[in-house]
Amino acid sequence: MASPSQIITLFLLLLGAFAEARDPFACDPKDATTSNLPFCRVSMPIPARVKDLLGRLTLQEKVRLLVNNAIAVPRLGIKGYEWWSEALHGVSNVGPGTKFGGAFPGATSFPQVITTAASFNATLWEAIGRVVSDEARAMYNGGAAGLTYWSPNVNIFRDPRWGRGQETPGEDPVVAGTYAASYVKGLQGSNGERLKVAACCKHFTAYDLDNWNGVDRFHFNAKVSKQDIEDTFDVPFKMCVQDGNVASVMCSYNQVNGVPTCADPNLLKKTVRGQWKLDGYIVSDCDSVGVFYNTQHYTSTPEEAAADAIKAGLDLDCGPFLAQYTENAVTRGLLNEADVNSALTNTLTVQMRLGMFDGEPSAQPFGNLGPKDVCTPAHQQLALEAARQGVVLLKNHNPSLPLSHLRHRTVAVIGPNSNATVTMIGNYAGVACGYTSPLQGIGNYAKTIHQMGCADVACADDTLFSEAINAARQADATVLVMGLDQSIEAEFKDRTGLLLPGRQQELVSKVALASKGPTILVLMSGGPIDVSFAKNDPRIGSILWAGYPGQAGGAAIADVLFGTTNPEGKLPMTWYPQGYVSNLLMTDMAMRSSPNRNYPGRTYRFYKGQVVYPFGHGLSYTNFVHTIASAPTVVSVPLDGHHRSGNATISGKWIKVNHAKCNKLTVGLQVDVKNTGSKDGTHTMLVFSTPPAGHWAPNKQLVAFAKVHVPAGSQERVGINIHVCKFLSVVDQSGVRRIPIGVHDLHIGGVKHSLSLQPATLGVIKT
C-alpha cells in the first residue's frame, strides 16, 4: 500500500506531467474524423497540404484566421491560435501568447539587445537565439507560449533620443543586419523548411520615433529619400530576409512618404516578397490597420482599409480589424477571395513548417523539451557571458580599473541603479530566472557600503546625497551605478535630452570629490548619455557602460570592475553631446548632413561634429596592435556579360552593382593582432572603409568585424572577407547602388590600407 505522502507525490508527478502536455493544435490522432484529412498527412508536401486545407474553409472562417487570435475551426479539428508572442532577449511576457507561472515561473533573461550588440560577436547572437528557442519550445510544449515570436527589432537607432533604441542592435546597418540574421538563425534552427520557432524582423520601415514633441508613431509620416532607404533603413531587413531566412516581417505604424507601411504594395509585395523573396508571412504591428483607418484616416471606409492592407501584401493583422471588415470588403468587390487565400497560404505554410499540423507535439522534434530545459545552469551562464561580452569600458584614467580585492576591501556602492534588478532586463523582457544586482556582484569581491544617493533615476532632490558622500569617504573605492530606466526611455517615450536625469550629475561630482579611493561611474541605459562632465573630471577614474545587462548584469559588471573579465565591448552607437539634439528635429529623417540648412547628419556614417564617445569606442585592460599581413592593393571588378561595353555601366567613376558580377567577389585580408599588454584579452576588430570622395559617400562605413582572443604577449592572425558589391558600394540619390572606382581606404584601428577598385577590362579579368 502506498502511504498518503507517496500518493500525494504521485499526484504531483501526474500534475507535472499534465502541465507539460499540450493537446495537438490540429490533426489529433485521437480524432479519427479529422486526422485522416489530406492536410494532416506529414508525407505530403506542405504546399499541397495548405491547398487542401484552404479548400475546406469558408470565407467566414478564413477572415477570422487573418488576425492574431485566430479562431478554432472545430469541424476540421483545428484549435484557436494566439500568434502574438515575443522573445527579444529571452521569452517575454509582452503579448498574450505567453504566460509565466506554474511549471514555467521564469525564463532566462539575456541582456537587452543594445548590450548584446556591443559584443560584436555573431556567434554569441546565434547562441542566444538557440537558447531562447529551446525555452520557447519548452513553454509551447507545456501550453505556456506560442511558436511565432515577433522579434527581433532591427530598426536603425537613428536618433539618440529614441525610447526603443535599447531594443535594437544600434545605428550601423551592417551590424543590425548581421545581428538580425544571426539571432533569427538561432531562433529558427537549421532544419531545412522546418522551423523551431518562427522569428519576425520588425518594424518595416523607417520606424524609429515613438513620441517626441507632440508627434507620435501613430500619426508620423516619415519622409525618407530613396537613397537613405536603400543604404540605411532597408539594409537590416534585407539581410534578415536573405541571410537569416526569417519566417516573418512586421510592417510598422508610421507612414513612409505618405503611405502607411502596412498598406504599401511597393514595400510589402514588391520589395519584401518580390525582390527579397520572403518565405513567410507579413504581419502588422499591433493594430496598424486600425491605426491607418481610425487615426490616419487613410481610407474613407474600414472595408477599403482591409482591402488595401491585404492587397498590399499583409497576411496577418495583429488586432481585430481584418476579422471585422474583410468579409464585407470581399462582398463589396474591393478584394477577391483569392487575395485572402494568398494571405492565408503564407500564414498556414508557416504553421505547417512549425509542425502544428503534424499531430502530437510530444512526437515531434523538440517535443521532449519541458520545464527542465528552462533556466538551466548552462542557459543562465550564457546570460552572464553575454553581459560580460557587452560591457564597454569608456574611460580608464591612470588606470583606475581593475580594482584589486586586496587593496579595495571596502567599496561604496552608490546610485539609483546600484541594486537594480528589473531595470537590468529593459523592455520586452519576461520574468527572469533570478537576478544578480550590481550590489550583490560587487559584494562577491569586497565588503560593500550601500547608499542609493537618489531615490530613483529621476533624482529630483539631494536628500540622500550626504549619506552617499559619507559612504565614499569611508570606502577604499567608490562605484556609482547611475543612468536611466524605463521611466526615462521606453516604448512610447522618447527622451527630450541626452544628459543624466535630475540631479544625478551633481551627485556623481560631489561623491567623486569626497571619495577616499578611485571613483568609478557605471552607467545603465539603452540610449547614449552625454557624460562629458565625467569624461573631463580627473577625479572620476573610469566609466563603464553596461546598457541593460540582463539578469546576471551585476555579476558581469563586478567581474569587469575587479578584472576577472577583461572588457571587450564596443559602442554600437555614437554618444553625442547634448548640443547635438538642441536644434535637431527628431522627425527629420535625413541621414546625410546638409551644411546649408545647418543639419548635422546622423550616425557616425554621416555626422562629422564633436562626439562624447564615437561609435566603436571601447577600451581593454590590455593593448592590441594591428599589422596587415596580406591584402590586395588592386581589385578588378568583373562586369556582367551583358554590360561589358555599355556606357551605363562605367561612368568613369562608378560601376552599377547590378552590372557587376558580384557573386563571390570578395576582398580577402589577413590581419595580425598582437596583445602588447600584460593581460589576456579578446579584441573586437572593426574594419571601416572610406570610399573615394563624392557627395553620396558616407564619411566611413563598417565593412567587417571580427573577434579574436589573444593571450598576453602573443599574436593571432585574423582573416577578413569583404563582399565588394554589398559593402564597398555606395548609393546614389535615386537609390541605385554603385561601386566607386578608385581608392577605398580601409581603416583597422590605427592602420590604414589603400585598395584600388578598377573595372576589369575586356578579356583581362583579374580576380
**Residues annotated as catalytic (active site), given as ranges:** 285
Between strands 715-723 and 624-630, the pairing is unpaired
Residue 403's closest CA among 566, 534, 560, 545?
560
In the complex with ligand NAG, the residue whose CB is nearer, 706 or 757, is 706
Q: CA separation (Å) from 535 to 60, 512, 542?
A: 63, 12, 8
CB atoms within 10 A of CB 194: 17
In the complex with ligand NAG, the residue whose CB is nearer, 381 or 754, is 381
Cell of 163: 525610447
Residue with cell 596583445: 675
User: Is 662 in contact with 739 (CB distance < 8 Å)?
Assistant: no
* Partners of 495 in the β-ladder: none
As measured in angstroms, the least distance from the Cβ of 92 to ligand NAG is 21
In the complex with ligand NAG, the residue whose CB is nearer, 303 or 385, is 385
Residues near 510 by Cβ (< 8 Å), separated by ≥ 6? 465, 469
Phi (first) and psi of residue 558, to 5 degrees: -65, -40
The dihedral built from the CA positions of residue 723, 729, 731 and 734, taken in this order, carries a sign that is: negative
In the complex with ligand NAG, the residue whose CB is nearer, 71 or 127, is 127
614-653 residues in contact with ligand NAG (CB under 6 A) are: 645-647
CB under 6 A: which stretch of 307-315, 489-497, 545-553, 707-715 binds ligand NAG? 707-715
**What is the rounded distance in angstroms from the CA atom of residue 82 to the CA atom of residue 91?**
15
Query: If binding is defined by CB under 6 A, does position 448 make contact with ligand NAG?
Result: no
As measured in angstroms, the least distance from the Cβ of 187 to ligand NAG is 16
User: Is 729 in contact with 704 (CB distance < 8 Å)?
Assistant: no
User: Is 105 in contact with 430 (CB distance < 8 Å)?
Assistant: no
Strand ranges inside 488-590, DSSP E = 519-524, 540-545
389-408 residues in contact with ligand NAG (CB under 6 A) are: none
Query: If binding is defined by CB under 6 A, does position 385 make contact with ligand NAG?
Result: yes
In the complex with ligand NAG, the residue whose CB is nearer, 295 or 419, is 419
CB under 6 A: which stretch of 216-224, 586-594, 663-671, 703-711 binds ligand NAG? 703-711
**What is the rounded distance in angstroms from the CA atom of residue 465 to the CA atom of residue 451?**
9
**What is the rounded distance in angstroms from the CA atom of residue 320 to the CA atom of residue 336?**
20
As measured in angstroms, the least distance from the Cβ of 245 to ligand NAG is 22
User: Is 625 in contact with 676 (CB distance < 8 Å)?
Assistant: yes
Give the residue, chosen from 30, 75, 219, 709, that forms a contact with ligand NAG under the rule CB under 6 A. 709
* Partners of 493 in the β-ladder: 490
Query: If binding is defined by CB under 6 A, does position 495 make contact with ligand NAG?
Result: no
**What is the rounded distance in angstroms from the CA atom of residue 332 to the CA atom of residue 21?**
45
Query: If binding is defined by CB under 6 A, does position 503 make contact with ligand NAG?
Result: no
Give the residue, chosen from 127, 464, 499, 625, that forms a contact with ligand NAG under the rule CB under 6 A. 127
User: Is 735 in contact with 227 (CB distance < 8 Å)?
Assistant: yes
Tell me how far apart the terminal alpha carbons of the chain are, to the nearest angstrom. 82
Give the residue, chosen from 419, 444, 699, 756, that forms a contact with ligand NAG under the rule CB under 6 A. 419
3-state SS class at 550? coil
Give the residue, chosen from 6, 9, 58, 123, that forms a contact with ligand NAG under the rule CB under 6 A. 123
Give the residue, chosen from 248, 299, 682, 729, that forms a contact with ligand NAG under the rule CB under 6 A. 682
Query: If binding is defined by CB under 6 A, does position 437 make contact with ligand NAG?
Result: yes
Between strands 737-740 and 654-656, the pairing is antiparallel
What H or E segment, with its residue span, contains residue 380?
helix 377-390
As measured in angstroms, the least distance from the Cβ of 555 to ligand NAG is 14
In the complex with ligand NAG, the residue whose CB is nearer, 458 or 708, is 708
As measured in angstroms, the least distance from the Cβ of 714 to ligand NAG is 14
Query: If binding is defined by CB under 6 A, does position 464 make contact with ligand NAG?
Result: no
As measured in angstroms, the least distance from the Cβ of 607 to ligand NAG is 30
Query: If binding is defined by CB under 6 A, does position 108 make contact with ligand NAG?
Result: no
In the complex with ligand NAG, the residue whose CB is nearer, 452 or 631, is 452
CB under 6 A: which stretch of 42-50, 121-129, 356-364, 726-734 binds ligand NAG? 121-129
As measured in angstroms, the least distance from the Cβ of 199 to ligand NAG is 19
In the complex with ligand NAG, the residue whose CB is nearer, 127 or 458, is 127
**What is the rounded distance in angstroms from the CA atom of residue 220 to the CA atom of residue 498?**
22
216-245 residues in contact with ligand NAG (CB under 6 A) are: none
Give the residue, chosen from 121, 284, 380, 515, that forms a contact with ligand NAG under the rule CB under 6 A. 121
**What is the rounded distance in angstroms from the CA atom of residue 585 to the CA atom of residue 35?**
58
Residue 534's closest CA among 577, 570, 569?
577
Query: If binding is defined by CB under 6 A, does position 708 make contact with ligand NAG?
Result: yes
Query: If binding is defined by CB under 6 A, does position 421 make contact with ligand NAG?
Result: yes
Between strands 634-637 and 69-70, the pairing is unpaired
In the complex with ligand NAG, the residue whose CB is nearer, 200 or 710, is 710
Residue 147's closest CA among 207, 79, 56?
79
CB atoms within 10 A of CB 42: 13
Query: If binding is defined by CB under 6 A, does position 317 make contact with ligand NAG?
Result: no
Give the residue, chosen from 26, 50, 70, 124, that forms a contact with ligand NAG under the rule CB under 6 A. 124
Estimate to the nearest angstrom the gap between the alpha carbon of 130 and the chain centroid: 15
- Contacts with ligand NAG by CB under 6 A: the residue count is 17
In the complex with ligand NAG, the residue whose CB is nearer, 368 or 419, is 419
Query: If binding is defined by CB under 6 A, does position 450 make contact with ligand NAG?
Result: yes
In the complex with ligand NAG, the residue whose CB is nearer, 450 or 659, is 450
What does the per-residue mask of binding to ligand NAG show for 662-681, with x meaning CB under 6 A? --------------------
Q: Which residues bind ligand NAG (CB under 6 A)?
A: 121, 123-124, 127, 385, 419, 421, 437, 439, 450, 645-647, 682, 707-709
